[in-house]
Each structure stands twice: as C-alpha cells, then as structure tokens.
Amino acid sequence: MRKLTILLMLLACAIAAQAGVLKVASDGTQPYTQISSAIAASVSGDTILIMAGAYSGFTVDKKLVIIGSGTGTGVGEGVLVTSGINVLDAADSTEIRSIWARAAAAHTSDSLAAIVRIRSGAERIFLWRCFVENTHSGLYASGIWVGEGASVDIVQTTICQTGSQDPNVRWGICYRSNCHIELTSCVFHGFTNNVSSFGTTSGSTLLAKHCVLITYNYTQNTVGGAIAGVFENSAFVLRGSFSHTYSPNVTYSYCSYSEALYPPPGGTSILADSSEIETLSFETIRACDFHLPVGSVLIDAGNPTSPFDLDGSAADIGIYGGQHPYVDGGVPDYPFAVQVEVPYSAPLNGTMRIWGRGRVGPGN
C-alpha cells in the first residue's frame, strides 16, 4: 500500500510538472506581447511571467499563476496594466503577483466601478504584492470587487484611489454575500469605505491583520455592511477633524486610531497619528515608506499572541509588523519555482533526479 501511495504521488507530481511557462514582454522580446494573448494560449495550471512594460487589461478564465516583475515606484516602472483585471469563477486557485493595475473606473452599480474584479463563485484567489489604483475623479470609484460566494487572499498590496482628495462614496473593497476576504500587510488609501458591502449582504467573513487604512477630508468607515470578522494589528489614519466608524460585526484587536474621540471598541487599541508611521504622505502614496520610526508607539504594540515580527520581538501595529512584511515596489524577491519535473519511477535505493526551473531573486 505504501509503494502504491508513493507511486500515485509521483504520478501526480509528474502530471503537474507538464504545466507550461509562458513569457510576455511588451517590447516583443518574448513570444507574447500582451498578457491576454498568453492567457488565450495557456492551459489550466500554467504560469505566465510578465516582463516590465505596459499592458492592456485581461480576463483569467482558468487556474493560472501570473507573475509580474514588480509594481515599480512611479509611472514607467514595473508591470503596468492600464485597464481592468477580471477573474472568472472558472479560475479557482489563480495567483496574481507583482502587478500594478491602474485605470479610471466608476459605475453606480456592480463590479464596473472596480479595477480588479473577482467574479461570483471564484474561490481561493491569491493577490500578492500588487498596486491597485483607481484614478477616476468622480463618485463610485473602487479598487477590488469580490463577488457572491468568492474568496480572496490579498497580501502586501496597496489599494488606492488617486483621482480626488474627496473620498466620499468610494470603496476600497466592495463585496457581496457569502464571500471570504483575508487581508495581510495591505494599505488602503483615499476611501471613505475601506471594506464595504454592495447592497444588502449576508454570510460574508473578513480576516484583516497588519493593515494601514488612510482617509483624508472625510469620515473613515473601516468596515461597512454585515460582514463579520476581525481587524487586528492595523492602523486607522485620518487627516482632518473627522471621525472613525466601526462595524458592530467586526472585532477590533490591538489597532491604532488617529482621532482621540473615536477609538475602536474593545479597549485594546492605542491613539497614534500619522507621525508614528515613517514619511506617511497623503498626496504621494507611491513614495510613502510605511516603516515605523524609532520610538513609534506602534512598535511591539500588537496583539501579544500574534506571531513575532522579523526582529524577534512582539508584533508591531502596521504593515511591517508581522512575519510577512510589506515589500515596496512589489518586486518578487522571493524564490519560486515555475516548473518541476519528477520521474515516474526510481530504482530501489537509487537516485531520483528532480529538475526545476524558477527564480531565486529579483529580475525577469
């Protein structure tokens, strides 16, 4: 039985190893010049690597791993997608990494107001080290749409609107019923409603940790609608004499707030203004450094039961405060494999050679 199990595992690995790697470069140095063309040529399980450049929006209709070369810190850097990204329900377990998605999108109803659209039924979608920017100057601009029954894990990602310094009627993440959202080390910038329902919803859940929510010139609604969950080790920052509001369905654990009259419920949060986060700028979000300055009250102020941060001390409040620190510029500086080949069989007590292809550090 043990031999059969091992053989089945090896067979599964070998089948998975047949997944292809498609490369995209807007300058024509790779087989594809648009992400959409590579997606059309791909099969489920493939990986798409994107070189620095500007690209049109795309729709993901199958399980893929899509990896850009970073978001950059300004226009002309990294991988820039200049219109929306759609992830369909047939694309369960898709990963999108290190891409800057930037467009002007707004609509009075449904997902057309968002830049990244996780469609109804799409499950286990993973968004990592991306920069999602809505430049629309009017109402109803939003960053990410999470449809009915969808689930998404968003890590080390900035979600912002830069079209107006009036954040009213703008949503960072807009969700529907029966969805699940996890946020780790993310930044929300310029929204009055950071995580908000679209219409009447039920059955949705949220887990958010080590995030920074920045609102100016308006009341900051941290969470809206019936979604239930936890906000932990996160910083809520306002500019101007406005108020924070909090959802009764969400537990706020070891967060910070910048307006003294409006603490989160629960009694574990601390008062801290924007000076406690290094070089925090409301106008130039791409140039911000979200590290905590020496002496910040947010250092070691996180939940004592949270995982230690990278210096081995207690968790901090903010996006650098835990074990998955925010990466400015979104460059994939982590090792990853895009293709692995395993033999179907190996001699008893012999040697099995496993071949892999990937990247150890940054670059294309």
Looking at residue 341, its pLDDT comes to: 75
- Judge contact between 211 and 185, C-beta under 8 A: yes
More confident residue, 300 or 163: 300
The tokens for 246 are: 């909090």
State the average pLDDT over residues 332-357. Answer: 74
Looking at residue 108, its pLDDT comes to: 66
Looking at residue 256, its pLDDT comes to: 98
pLDDT tier at 180, thresholds 50, 70, 90: very high
Phi, psi angles (nearest 5°) of residue 13: -65, -40
Domain that holds residue 120: 2-359
Looking at residue 225, its pLDDT comes to: 93
Question: Which pTM was predicted?
Answer: 0.89
Q: What percentage of the chain reaches a pLDDT higher than 90?
A: 61
Q: Which phi-psi region, left, alpha or beta, contains residue 295 (left: φ > 0; alpha: ψ -120 to 50)?
A: left
Looking at residue 76, its pLDDT comes to: 61
Residue 353 reports pLDDT greater than 90: no
User: Which residue intervals of the chain are DSSP H helices?
Assistant: 2-16, 35-41
State the average pLDDT over residues 327-345. Answer: 74
The tally of domains found in the chain comes to 1
Residue 266 reports pLDDT greater than 80: yes
Q: Which phi-psi region, left, alpha or beta, contains residue 276 (left: φ > 0; alpha: ψ -120 to 50)?
A: alpha
Looking at residue 311, its pLDDT comes to: 82
Q: What does the alpha-carbon distance between residue 304 and residue 314 come to, in Å, rounded to a whole number?
A: 6
Q: Tokens 């409603």 appear where?
A: 193
What's the one-letter identity of residue 33?
T
State the average pLDDT over residues 330-352. Answer: 75
Give 82-99 pLDDT, tens digit per residue.
989 999 999 999 999 999
Q: Tokens 């310094």 appear where?
A: 165
3-state secondary structure 51-102: CCEEECCEEECCCCEEECCCCCCCCCCCEEECCCEEECHHHCCCEEECCEEE
More confident residue, 138 or 117: 117
More confident residue, 45 or 5: 45
Evaluate whether residue 364 is within a structural domain: no
Give 227-245 pLDDT, tens digit per residue.
999 999 999 999 877 899 9
Phi, psi angles (nearest 5°) of residue 11: -65, -40
More confident residue, 312 or 314: 314
Q: Which of 139-143, 198-202, 357-361 has the lowest mean pLDDT?
A: 357-361
Evaluate whether residue 212 is within a structural domain: yes
Q: What does the alpha-carbon distance between residue 294 and residue 41 come to, in Å, rounded to a whole number?
A: 50
Q: How many CB atoms lie within 10 A of CB 260?
A: 8
Evaluate whether residue 189 is within a structural domain: yes
What's the farthest any 2 CA atoms get from each other in the chain? 73
Evaluate whether residue 323 is within a structural domain: yes
- What b-and-e string marks burial along 22-34, b requiring 16 or more CB atoms within 10 Å of the CB? bbbbbeeebebbb
Looking at residue 117, its pLDDT comes to: 96
Evaluate whether residue 109 is within a structural domain: yes
pLDDT tier at 323, thresholds 50, 70, 90: confident
Burial of 83 (0-12, 13-18, 19+ CB in 10 A): middle
Residue 126 reports pLDDT greater than 60: yes
Evaluate whether residue 72 is within a structural domain: yes
Evaluate whether residue 169 is within a structural domain: yes
Q: What spatial distance separates the first Cα and last Cα of the chain, rounded to whole Å?
A: 44
Mean pLDDT of the chain: 87
Contacts 24+ apart (CB under 8 A), 256-261: 256/297, 256/298, 256/301, 256/317, 256/318
Looking at residue 46, its pLDDT comes to: 96
pLDDT tier at 362, thresholds 50, 70, 90: low
Residue 17 reports pLDDT greater than 60: no
Looking at residue 325, its pLDDT comes to: 73
Q: Whose CA is closest to 172, among 211, 200, 132, 144?
A: 144
Which three-class secondary structure state does DSSP give residue 356? strand
More confident residue, 11 or 55: 55
Residue 11 reports pLDDT greater than 50: no
Q: Whose CA is closest to 176, among 251, 105, 231, 114?
A: 114
List the CATH number of the domain containing 187: 2.160.20
Residue 258 reports pLDDT greater than 80: yes
